[in-house]
Amino acid sequence: MALARKDVGEILVSKGYMTQDQLDQVKVAQKNAPGEIGKIAMDFGFVTEKQVIEAKAESYNLLFFDFEKSKNSIDPNVATMIPEHVARRHKAIALGKRKDQIFVCLANPNDTAAIQDIKLTLSGANIRVCIGTEEEIMNAISTFYKSTAEGGSLVPVHQTEEGDLVQKDDKGDALSAGVRQDLVQVGLDQGDDEEEDESADEQNTAPIVRLAYSIIQLAIKDGASDIHVEPQRDNVRVRYRIDGVLHEVMPLPKYVDKPLTSRFKIMSDMNIAERRAPQDGRIGIMLDKKDYDLRVSCLPTVYGEKIVMRILDKTSVLLGLNKLGFNADVQAELEEIITQPNGMLLMTGPTGSGKTTTLYSILHKLNTIEKNILTVEDPVEYQLPGIAQVHVNKKAGLTFATALRSFLRQDPDIIMVGEMRDYETASIAVESALTGHLVLSTLHTNDAPSSVIRLADMGVEEYLISATVVGILAQRLARRICNNCKTSYEVKASELRRFGYKDMDDDQIVTLYRGVGCEKCRNTGYKGRVGIHELMTVNDEVREHIVRKSPVSNIREAAKAAGMHELKEDGLSKVLEGITTPDEVMRVVFTAGT
């Protein structure tokens, strides 16, 4: 794809679509809030989307297709050569054919992954890329495609809220019509020989490509955080982790095991010939104008290679702290802590408790032109503009500790350490906090007070802990009650005593809420998640207990006396507000002995 040779703004002026004065206004706005010239000009109301697309076409030396003027020139037989779900995913439509070239119009002609995918579905045909407006392309797709579903025991196709055509099998599992058709095609191509060793070229056949993309696309639209593709003895199980809980979404036939695994390995730049050792990779994908990163892990098992993909939504880390479920008092206290010029703020909680999202949200709030922010992570899950992020590479000798040593020579104001795992990392982080830097990091402990003991176990002296740690935030993620099927019920207040509820009367009745289950929440009664927090501010009394090496119980009591609300208490407040349920708080907060 040719790179832009002409400035879009200058082209808009030369075509008379906007004046030079208007372009100057747009450029001033672009300096204050970086973005595309064309998009900013549209926001000002100076130009239309079609005018911007036409200018982009000239800028990239591409053909501009005006559907309003030329829609009758589209060849209906060519228009439907791209499978409908691929056309809708990439916002692309085939226009016509000339000699050995197929003209394909895309809304985003710079999406090389989309172009590659389309080429594969067209059996490697020579594509001539054109550009058009997204709205006109999608309207053309709706005009030229007629979705059909045939065969098997499938009930008629129906429309989901997202607009995708899906079918339900006899068990009620939602499967895309494209997935069903691709499975049939893979079966025809693959045969029943499960032992056949597929080559890389065989993994690029269109049905497998579409099947792999469909699994990812459906997971993102369902709001899944992880995809599990697990080979079993007789089939391949696909499960999505939605709101922290795994759900089986589709059983696939055994014959798709090897080609599907190889396709995911190709997409994530793994070695498809290596089947005996674990591998890691990444996949980048765009869906509905949003960028997603998939962190992929491949693990050899008895029945084949298991693929697990963690879906990272790049926009989720740009949430404000007020959208993470913080109690107003806790949020105010946290914001006061992160404005301090030096010290150490620790995040604690199990894997999957949202620590990274909260840390990135804090960094996003602190990220200003006046601050030099450095992070060291393993791996870098989200890329934040304006922040220098370092990826740990143990093979090259780049560890948390070596990166931190270099950070101190980079004149940082704020340092984020992905995780403190050993004494060397912890000691350098403490040194950084002592020398005038704000350090953010994570630990794996059950609650905030226990983090002090964990640091001491690593070998950090208690007087250093008391001198550097300014706050410790413990976090869990509980499922939200689905607003669509939310209903009230009554319980005796005595049933809430385990959460610390102070009832005045044994017979007092409290109104709570729960979800009864509906299509929107997959009949679980829950939709989305909310944070449950425990923020311990390290004041003079807590510092004294740390230096004296007091038990965790004493540190906890001192913190509670200073206003700390325990996880179960914050969970109770969200139960009483009708945000979540007692069972959900029990699931994520309570451990044996609490």
Q: What is the pLDDT of residues 354-389, one digit of tens each?
A: 888 888 889 988 988 999 999 998 878 777 888 999
The helix (run of H) or strand (run of E) holding residue 415 is strand 414-417
Q: What is the pLDDT of residue 183?
A: 57
C-alpha distances (whole Å) from 483 to each of 458, 490, 515, 571, 575 are 45, 18, 8, 18, 14
Strands 290-301, 158-159: pairing kind:
unpaired
Q: What is the DSSP letter of 556?
A: H
Q: Return d(Cα 190, Cα 197) in angstroms, integer.
A: 11
Burial of 304 from C-beta contacts in 10 A (0-12 / 13-18 / 19+): buried
* Predicted model pTM: 0.63
Strands 126-131, 245-253: pairing kind:
unpaired
Q: Return d(Cα 367, Cα 362) in angstroms, integer.
A: 9
Q: What is the pLDDT of residue 44?
A: 83
Q: Is the pLDDT of residue 2 over 60?
A: no
Is the CB of residue 452 less than 8 Å from the CB of residue 546? yes
| % of the chain surpassing 90 pLDDT | 34
Q: What is the pLDDT of residue 118?
A: 83
Under the banding of pLDDT at 50, 70 and 90, the label for residue 171 is: very low
User: Which two tokens mark 324?
Assistant: 């993470």
Q: Is the pLDDT of residue 7 over 90?
A: no
Q: Is the pLDDT of residue 32 over 70?
A: yes
Q: Return d(Cα 9, Cα 261) in angstroms, integer.
A: 45
Under the banding of pLDDT at 50, 70 and 90, the label for residue 456 is: very high
Give the distance from CA 546 to its chain's centroid.
38
More confident residue, 289 or 170: 289
Q: Return d(Cα 489, Cα 491) in angstroms, integer.
A: 7
Q: What is the pLDDT of residue 115?
A: 83
Q: What is the pLDDT of residues 182-192, one digit of tens each?
A: 555 555 455 44
Instruction: Indicate the range of 143-147, 222-226, 372-376, 563-567 predicted with least confidence.
Output: 143-147
Q: What is the pLDDT of residue 593?
A: 47
Mean pLDDT calculated for residue range 256-284: 90
Instruction: Write out the DSSP string of 153-221.
Output: TPPPPEE-TTS-EEEE-TT--EEEHHHHHHHHHHHHHHTT-TT----HHHHTSHHHHHHHHHHHHHHHH
Is the CB of residue 452 less than 8 Å from the CB of residue 559? no
Q: What is the pLDDT of residues 73-116, one digit of tens each?
A: 888 888 888 877 778 888 899 988 887 888 999 988 887 778 87
Strands 245-253, 235-242: pairing kind:
antiparallel
Is the CB of residue 228 less than 8 Å from the CB of residue 245? no
Task: State the first-to-last Cα distance of the chain, in angstroms, to the nearest integer.
Answer: 60
Under the banding of pLDDT at 50, 70 and 90, the label for residue 498 is: confident
Under the banding of pLDDT at 50, 70 and 90, the label for residue 592 is: very low
Cβ partners under 8 Å of residue 263, min gap 6: 203, 204, 208, 209, 211, 212
Q: Is the pLDDT of residue 545 over 90?
A: yes
Q: What is the pLDDT of residues 190-207, one digit of tens each?
A: 544 444 444 444 444 467
Q: What is the pLDDT of residue 504?
A: 59
Instruction: Write out the DSSP string of 248-301.
Output: EEEEEEGGGHHHHHHHHHHHTT--TT--SS-EEEEEEEEETTEEEEEEEEEEEE
Q: Which amino acid is at 575?
A: V
Q: Is the pLDDT of residue 463 over 60?
A: yes
Burial of 96 from C-beta contacts in 10 A (0-12 / 13-18 / 19+): middle
Cβ partners under 8 Å of residue 440, min gap 6: 344, 345, 347, 359, 362, 363, 414, 415, 416, 417
Mean pLDDT calculated for residue range 229-248: 91
Is the CB of residue 468 less than 8 Å from the CB of residue 546? no
Q: What is the pLDDT of residue 292?
A: 84
Half-sphere exposure of 443 (CA within 13 A, CB side): 27
Q: Backbone dihedral region of 289: left (phi > 0), alpha (psi from -120 to 50 degrees) or beta?
A: left
Q: What is the pLDDT of residues 499-533, one digit of tens each?
A: 877 765 667 888 999 999 888 888 889 998 999 99
Q: Which amino acid is at 388?
A: A
Half-sphere exposure of 100 (CA within 13 A, CB side): 4
Q: Is 313 helix (H, G, I), strand (E, B) or coil?
A: strand
Instruction: Write out the DSSP string of 470-519.
Output: EEEEEEEEEEEEPTTSEEEEEEEGGGGGGGT---S-TT-EEEEEEE---T
Mean pLDDT calculated for residue range 59-68: 87
C-alpha distances (whole Å) from 591 to each of 74, 351, 552, 564, 567 are 64, 15, 16, 19, 12
Q: What is the pLDDT of residue 491?
A: 87
Q: What is the pLDDT of residue 186?
A: 55
Q: What is the DSSP letter of 247?
A: E
Q: Is the pLDDT of residue 416 over 80?
A: yes
Mean pLDDT calculated for residue range 278-300: 86
Q: Return d(Cα 511, Cα 70) in angstroms, integer.
A: 62
Instruction: Indicate the range of 146-150, 428-432, 529-533 predicted with least confidence.
Output: 146-150
Instruction: Write out the DSSP string of 358-414.
Output: HHHHHHHHH--TT--EEEEESS--S--TT-EEEE-BGGGTB-HHHHHHHHTTS--SE
Q: What is the pLDDT of residue 202?
A: 43
Is the CB of residue 520 less than 8 Å from the CB of residue 526? no
Q: Return d(Cα 190, Cα 302) in angstroms, integer.
A: 22
Is the CB of residue 55 less than 8 Å from the CB of residue 11? yes
Q: Is the pLDDT of residue 141 over 90?
A: no
Under the banding of pLDDT at 50, 70 and 90, the label for residue 460 is: very high
C-alpha distances (whole Å) from 240 to each of 118, 243, 254, 460 are 26, 10, 19, 40
Mean pLDDT calculated for residue range 130-135: 90
Q: Return d(Cα 256, Cα 235) in angstroms, integer.
A: 9
Q: Return d(Cα 178, Cα 170) in angstroms, integer.
A: 17
Q: What is the pLDDT of residues 290-343, one digit of tens each?
A: 778 889 999 999 999 999 999 987 666 666 777 788 988 999 999 999 999 999
| % of the chain surpassing 70 pLDDT | 86
Sign for the pseudo-dihedral over CA of 488, 489, 492, 496: negative
Look over the chain and give the mean of its residue pLDDT values, rounded to a whole number: 82
Q: Return d(Cα 249, Cα 239) in angstroms, integer.
A: 6
Cβ partners under 8 Å of residue 65, min gap 6: 95, 105, 130, 131, 132
Is the CB of residue 405 less than 8 Å from the CB of residue 394? no
Q: What is the pLDDT of residue 166?
A: 35
Q: What is the pLDDT of residue 142?
A: 85
